[in-house]
Amino acid sequence: MLTETATSQKPLEQQGTARLAEFAASLSFRDIPEHVVERCVDLFVDWAGSALSGARHRAVVAIDEFAKEMGPEHGRPEVLISRRTTSPFFAAMVNAAASHVSEQDDVHNGSVFHPGAVVFPAALAVAQNAGASGREFLTACVAGYETGIRAGEYLGLSHYKVFHTTGTAGTFAAAAAAGRLLRLGPEQMLNALGSAGTQAAGLWEFLRDAADSKQLHTAKAAGNGLTAAYLAARGFTGARRILEGERGMAAGMSEQCDPAKITSGLGRRWALAETSFKFHASCRHTHPAADTLLKILQKHDLLAEDIEHVTAHVHKAAIDVLGSVVWPATVHQAKFSMPATLGLIAIHRRAGMSEFDAILQDQAVQQFMRKVYMVFDPEVERNYPTSWIGKVSVKTRDGTVLADRVEEPKGDPGNTLTRDEIEEKARRLAEYGGVLDAGMWGQLSRRLRSVASLTEIGSLLR
């Protein structure tokens, strides 16, 4: 088992990025507890559904067409949404873009980071290209999750206010996963992380304009992570203290960092096991309130027309992200709107793919959206991001005020989805994308579930 040693006994360089690189390069399958491996397989199935669901989205189609024009027509890695093959770089890019558009991909609360959307595309592309085994693939994925999550936790909430952490920390995660499959040594992995960090990017400004940048963030994070790892394998060097150095990422992208978080609990605390599944097809910041409103509606047998207004009591990051969307102009922008998400819950009792697809023409939801407000709540803020508490108050038309709370949104580790729920969610998403029917999903799911026993990853869809 890999264990964390006292930082006082290591050189300064070994206390930060270098220690993370050493862990990612040295991790082996036997180091990983069984429950973490099982969770990784569940997350892999969950990711595949999200990736397939993005097949018809305009932004994803644009990135896929770009990849077709730029990349080779044939290769070993596959693009899931079109079932074609190409280079590892372009397969990773397209699969990463596709898996981050339906807003159903996994999320790690403490780092406010969607690891699956960048780790699995990068690892799958390299594993297929290299003929890696299922165990090698899973080991690389765990290395990617652990690396990316710690980078996100280190950069902190001041970073997240401006930067899309999945695009920034995600580049580290992809580089670590790819580097592990390429069997980089600690020194090479350190170079890969250095090159990853200098490419890391992603800004939240796109939300105001309903722009397509979010899919570009994951596409580039996966692609840039691969670039960094493949270059490191060829002797290309990178900054050795890219996270914590005087001109590193924290210096330019964060106002409050705790260096201990870079290496906290390596080999003892498995951050992958803390990762949540997303139940609603919307930004995670809407989920605690959505779950709480649904609880109130069911508990008091309320209809939407019984409600005068709804107040979601939220943390500041929710206001920072969701407050950018004044009135949704697109379906994807609606997924970053608290009024839109709670409107769907009030009218349809769910906020899924089909409900969001119809939201711009759904007059009942549009009317209800005008009843929804967000207010800052000190208690919710104190507990965030470790815990995402849901607090909602509802005023009914007869003047009654009803308030309730949810300690953990559905999908969090303490309120997780069952294996059957994961399977059903992934199947629905795969069918939504139009790439697979129910029978084909069953075949794919069985292959995904058996990944640890595969001597070679090979094609998933052919």
Q: What is the pLDDT of residues 143-187, one digit of tens each?
A: 999 999 999 999 999 999 999 999 999 999 999 999 999 999 999
Torsion sign (Cα): 229, 151, 48, 38? positive
* C-alpha to C-alpha distances, 344 to 192, 243, 276, 282, 366, nearest whole angstrom: 44, 41, 22, 11, 9
Task: Tell me how far apart the alpha carbons of residues 259 and 251 are, in angstroms, rounded to a whole number.
Answer: 12
- Helix/strand/coil (H/E/C) assignment for every residue in 257-319: CCHHHHCCCCCCCCHHHHCECCCCCCCHHHHHHHHHHHHHHHHHCCCHHHEEEEEEEECHHHH
Gyration radius (Cα) of the chain, Å = 21
Task: Tell me how far apart the alpha carbons of residues 189 and 24 are, in angstroms, rounded to a whole number.
Answer: 8
**pLDDT of amino acid 223:** 98
**pLDDT of amino acid 265:** 93
pLDDT at 5 over 70: no
Model confidence pLDDT, tens digit, residues 62-79: 999 999 999 899 999 999
Is residue 308 very low, low, confident or very high in pLDDT (cuts 50, 70, 90)? Answer: very high
User: What domains can be seen in the chain, in order of their start residue?
Assistant: 7-274 (1.10.4100.10), 284-410 (3.30.1330.120)
Residue 351 has what DSSP assignment?
-
pTM of the model: 0.94
The half-sphere exposure of 453 on its side-chain side, counting CA atoms within 13 A, is 5
- Amino acid identity at 46: D
Q: What is the mean pLDDT of residues 357-362?
A: 97
How many percent of the chain have pLDDT more than 90? 94
Query: How high is the mean pLDDT of the chain?
Result: 95
pLDDT at 95 over 90: yes
Q: What is the mean pLDDT of residues 372-380?
A: 98
Model confidence pLDDT, tens digit, residues 6-56: 334 454 455 799 999 999 999 999 999 999 999 999 999 999 999 999 999
Model confidence pLDDT, tens digit, residues 197-251: 999 999 999 999 999 999 999 999 999 999 999 999 999 999 999 999 999 999 9
Task: Tell me how far apart the alpha carbons of residues 231 and 203 are, in angstroms, rounded to a whole number.
Answer: 26
Burial (Cβ within 10 Å: 0-12, 13-18, ≥19) of residue 299: exposed
**pLDDT of amino acid 439:** 85
Burial (Cβ within 10 Å: 0-12, 13-18, ≥19) of residue 7: middle
pLDDT at 293 over 70: yes
How many percent of the chain have pLDDT more than 70? 97
